[in-house]
Amino acid sequence: MKRLKVSLEERPIEYFSTMGCRTVNGLDVNALDNFKTNVQHVIDDEFDKIDDVFSGVQKDGRGNISPVTIILPTLAAMTRKKLEAKGKFDDKEQVFAEFMKLLDKKIHEAKDMLLERFNHQCSQSPKSAKFMYENHTMSGYHEEEGIISALKHGTLVIGQLGMSECLYLLFGFDHTTEKGMEYAKDIEKLYNTRTAEFKKEYKLNFGVYYTPAESLCGTALRKFKKDFPEFDLDHVTYYMKDDKRVEKEWFTNSIHVPVEYECDQFEKIDIESQLTGLSNAGCITYVEVGEVPYNNIDAIEKLVDYAMEHDIPYFAINLKISQCHNCGERIWDLSLDKCPKCGCDKIDQLGRVTGYLSTTVEHFNKAKQAEFKNRTNHFKN
């Protein structure tokens, strides 16, 4: 197929800000008026990959319209249960083929769910979202066309939860290993391929979304334990630390390295950067820093540069800072359970959970609190 060649000297690059890690928008197949000329190449089938074209990327006035998340460990458990009953679980390639067949079915079902939801949203009055309507936060609205004129520029995203637990269920290892990463890439490529096909077929902005799972991480695991008690497995429903069993209350967010996995900041970036490029509707890679490195700014700059060199679309450094709830004293020694100034045992801890910074992690649900508590410190000088 003929490719569009863009001279960077003739066409200046424009950079658009992104609100958050899950609001990255790729090429708008229903591009706003000022982009329609170039995006017409895609609509006329002159390109085999929609996102090969520079034009049609508009951040302001767009956003994720709806997400649907597929719980990967549940599909893995269904696959394993079926093949174990037939005595066919030993052939790993057959196991993966069966899993991918089921995943493909669920991706298509997710697409149908998104279309149904989108059509319902488009049937509403603009006054249903009064703030957006009155403040023109969504671009492209034309009264004669209806609410679809604005919503068609947003993204319809298919997400995922629990890549690590899924792979452990199927193979006994996850994407922190070389073979596990091969499987993980195949899974993400299926997501990416199908959403590109849906985008072209329905002329709507389908995309791959690495789900933040604010509450779903706990809800999904509780249901999993109820539905599949036979799969009470290491790295799935619990993990071992210092020869002790630690009960998991969460499934790992999307394609992230499990929070309990021991690695440094560079290895975490090395692993996750192999998959983040396959998400075109939002993702994040973060590293956990145990203490605020006031006297090591060079190390922080080196870390940010490393993430950028590995093409991480959205990068974060999580700093843990404690503060006394009573007197406001900042507490840098995270091992302390009482304020050294006033003796109060009520310690608030600033932390980032699924992209959000909070004055205390106690504001989040129990699953997220447990995940936060069990995080590995990645930062090594």
Q: What is the DSSP string of 11-65?
A: S-------SSTT------TT--GGGHHHHHHHHTT--SSGGG-SS----TT--EE
Sheet holding 330-331, edge to edge: 330-331, 321-324, 347-353, 356-358
Instruction: Answer yes or no: pTM beyond 0.75.
Output: yes
In 3-state terms, what secondary structure has residue 263? coil
β-strands 244-247, 356-358 pairing? unpaired
- Res 226: pLDDT: 97
d(CA 54, CA 208): 19
Running DSSP on this structure, what letter comes out for residue 236?
T
**What token pair was written down for 68?**
């649907």
Instruction: List alpha helices for 33-177, DSSP H.
Output: 36-43, 72-85, 92-122, 130-135, 148-151, 163-171
For residues 251 and 221, the answer to whether their CB atoms sit within 8 Å is yes
Closest by CA to 28, choosing from 124, 153, 197, is 153
pLDDT of res. 3: 34
Amino acid at 279: S
Instruction: Extract the tokens encoding 235.
Output: 């790295």
| Residues 63 and 57: beta-carbon distance below 8 Å | no
CB atoms within 10 A of CB 240: 11
CA distance 108 to 112: 6
Which pair of structure tokens corresponds to residue 256? 């992230």
For residue 27, the model assigns a pLDDT of 74
Query: Which pLDDT score is estimated for 201?
Result: 94
- Domains in the chain: ranges and CATH: 33-373 (3.20.70.20)
d(CA 227, CA 43): 44
Q: What is the pLDDT along the chain (381 residues), one digit of tens a residue?
A: 333 333 434 434 444 445 566 666 667 788 755 455 555 555 555 555 444 444 455 656 677 888 999 999 999 999 999 999 999 999 999 999 999 999 999 999 999 999 999 999 999 887 788 787 777 777 778 888 888 988 888 889 999 999 999 999 999 999 999 999 999 999 999 999 999 999 999 999 999 988 888 889 999 999 999 999 999 999 999 999 999 999 999 999 999 999 999 999 999 999 999 999 888 888 889 898 866 666 778 888 888 999 999 988 888 888 777 788 888 888 776 667 788 889 898 888 777 776 666 666 777 788 888 888 888 888 765
Short-list 368, 357, 379, CA closest to 269:
379
Nearest to 188 by CA among 85, 279, 57, 297: 279
